[in-house]
Amino acid sequence: MDKKLAIILVNCLDYAERFLDDCIADLRKQDYQGEIKIFFVNNGTSAESLQYAMKKMPEAEFIINNTNDGFAKGNNDGIKQALMQNFDYVILFNLDMKFEPDCVRKMVEAIENNEMDYRFRPPERRVSGNDKKGEDNRKESEDDKDDGSDKRKIGAVQARLMLHPETDKINSLGNVTHFLGFGYCSDYGRKFQETNSKRQTIKNICYPSGAGVLFRADVLKKIGLFDEEMWMYNEDQDLGWRIWLAGFRCVLAPDAVAYHKYQFSRSITKYYWMDRNRIIAMLKNYRFGTLLLILPAFIVMELGLILFAWKGGWLKEKIKVWQYFFSIKNWRYILRNRQEAQRLRKVKDCDIIPMFSGKIWYQEIDDIKLRLVNPVFNAYWWLVKKIVFW
C-alpha cells in the first residue's frame, strides 16, 4: 500500500478555530502506510483564522484564496495541486470531522481489495418512522438478493459518516438522488446496527458526500472536477453522476468510519443553491428522452414548490432560480457542460436510474406533505423506469 494520498481541507467561515484541533489530531493518528499530504485551502477567512491554521498544521501546503469562492472551487483548488504533484488518491474531508485511526486505510482498501469482484446491490433508501418496521423486513430480503455482477472500476469511495456527538447514529451511508434532482443522505438518523450495511464490505451508492470521500486521481483527470458554477450543494451529486456515466462506480466503505459534527441549516440562501443546482444536474446528465419523460412530474413539483417556498419564506429565492434559467448566458454554460458530460457516457440511463429514488426523504423536513406526495411521485417514477431503455 504505497500509493500517494492527498487530503484536502477547506477552511471557510473561520471554521479552523472551532474544528481544526479535533480534525488534525485524528488525521495524524491515521495508520495508512503510504505517503499522506494535507492541502489546506483557506477560502476568504479572517487573517486570525489563517494564522491559527498555519500554526496548528505546519506540515500542510496552504492555498490562500482572498474570497470565499464556494465549496466547489475551494476543493478544486486543492485537488488541482494534488493532481499536479501526481498523487494517486485524493480525499476530501470537512473540517468539522473526527476519524477512526483506520478510516483512510479502509477507504483505500475499498478500492484496492474490491476492484475485481463485486456483487451489485442497489443503495438502501431511508425509511420514515411510520413505516420503519415493515420496510426493514422488506429491506432484509431485498438486500439478500444479487442483482448481477458489477466489475467496473471504483471511481469514488465514501466513508461511513456518523453523527457527532451521537456517534451511534448515521449521517450518511452514501447519498441518494431523487429523479427530480433532489439529493439526500441515506439512512440519516438511524442506528448503523439497524441497517444491513454492517454485513457488506462495500456497496454501490448514487453519489458520495463531499464531506468524506476518496477519489481516484486518474478518474478525476478523465471526468473533470466539481462544477464551480454550482458553488455549493449538489456539486458532489453532479460529480458522482459523471463518475457513473463514465463507466466507474461510487461505493460506500462501511468499515471506514468518520464522525461529522453536522448541523442542519435552514438558510434561505441554501434553498436557492439546492433548488437551482438540482435542475442543472438533471439538465447536464440525463438523456434528452429521460428529461422529456420526467417533465410532467417536474412541472407538478415546481407548482408545489411555489407553495412550499411561500410558506417557508423563500419565495424570492425560488423566483431567482427561475430567473437564472431565463439567461442566455447561463444556457450556453448548461449546454456546453451537458455536451461534456454526455461525451463521457459509457453507461445508459436505464443502467443508472434504478439507483434513483421516487420518494423524497428530507430528514429535517419529513412532514405530512412529503408523506402524501411521495407515493404519487414514486408510482410515476416506477412507470418511467419501465419505459426507459436508452
Within a domain: residue 7? yes
Q: Is residue 224 part of a domain?
A: no
Do the beta carbons of residue 222 and residue 246 sit within 8 Å? Answer: yes
Domain's final residue, options 40, 64, 95: 95
Residue 116: which residues within 8 A CB-CB, separation 6 or more? Answer: 151
The C-alpha atoms of residue 92 and residue 78 are separated, in whole angstroms, by 9
Could you list the residue range(s) of the whole structural domain that residue 105 is in? 99-219+229-390
- Claim to verify: residue 78 and residue 123 sit in the same structural domain: no
Q: How many helices (H) and strands (E) does the chain have?
A: 13, 12
The pLDDT value given to residue 119: 40
Residue 36 has pLDDT above 60, yes or no: yes
Same domain, 57 and 69: yes
> Do 127 and 79 have their domain in common?
no
**Same domain membership, residue 175 and residue 148:** yes
Amino acid (1-letter code) at residue 44: G
The verdict on residue 68 lying in a domain is yes
Residues 127, 85 within the same domain: no
Alpha-carbon gap, residue 246 to 55, rounded angstroms: 41
Q: Are residues 338 and 302 part of one domain?
A: yes
**Predicted local confidence at residue 372, as pLDDT:** 79
Give the residue, 6 or 195, on which the prediction is more confident: 6
- Backbone phi, psi, residue 207, to 5°: -160, 150
Is there a single domain that holds both residue 114 and residue 65? no
339 and 358 belong to one structural domain: yes
| Domain annotation covers residue 120 | yes
| Same domain, residue pair 72 and 104 | no
Domain boundary among 63, 95, 127: 95
Residue 131 pLDDT exceeds 70: no
> CA 178 to CA 274: how far, in whole Å?
13
Here the CATH number for the domain that contains residue 48 is 3.90.550.10
Q: What nine digits make up the cell of 332?
A: 450556453
Confidence band, pLDDT 50/70/90 cuts, at residue 147: very low
Co-location of 117 and 74 in the same domain:
no
Higher pLDDT, 196 or 80: 80
Residue 134 lies in a domain: yes
Give the model confidence (pLDDT) of 235-254 as tens digits: 999 999 999 999 999 999 99
The domain boundary residue, chosen from 64, 95, 126: 95
Domain total in the chain: 2
Q: Is residue 133 part of a domain?
A: yes
| Cβ pair 172, 207 in contact under 8 A | no
Q: How many other β-carbons are positioned within 10 Å of the β-carbon of residue 287?
A: 17
Cβ neighbours around 128 below 10 Å, total: 14
Residues 56 and 108 in one domain: no
Looking at the predicted structure, is the pLDDT value of residue 208 above 90?
yes
pTM beyond cutoff 0.75:
yes
Confidence of residue 115 (pLDDT cuts 50, 70, 90): low
Asked whether the predicted pLDDT for residue 13 surpasses 90, the reply is no
* Residue 374 domain-assigned (yes or no): yes
Tell whether 44 and 140 lie within a shared domain: no
Q: Each residue of 315-369: pLDDT tens digit? A: 999 999 999 999 999 999 999 999 999 999 999 999 999 999 998 876 555 566 6
Q: Is residue 54 part of a domain?
A: yes
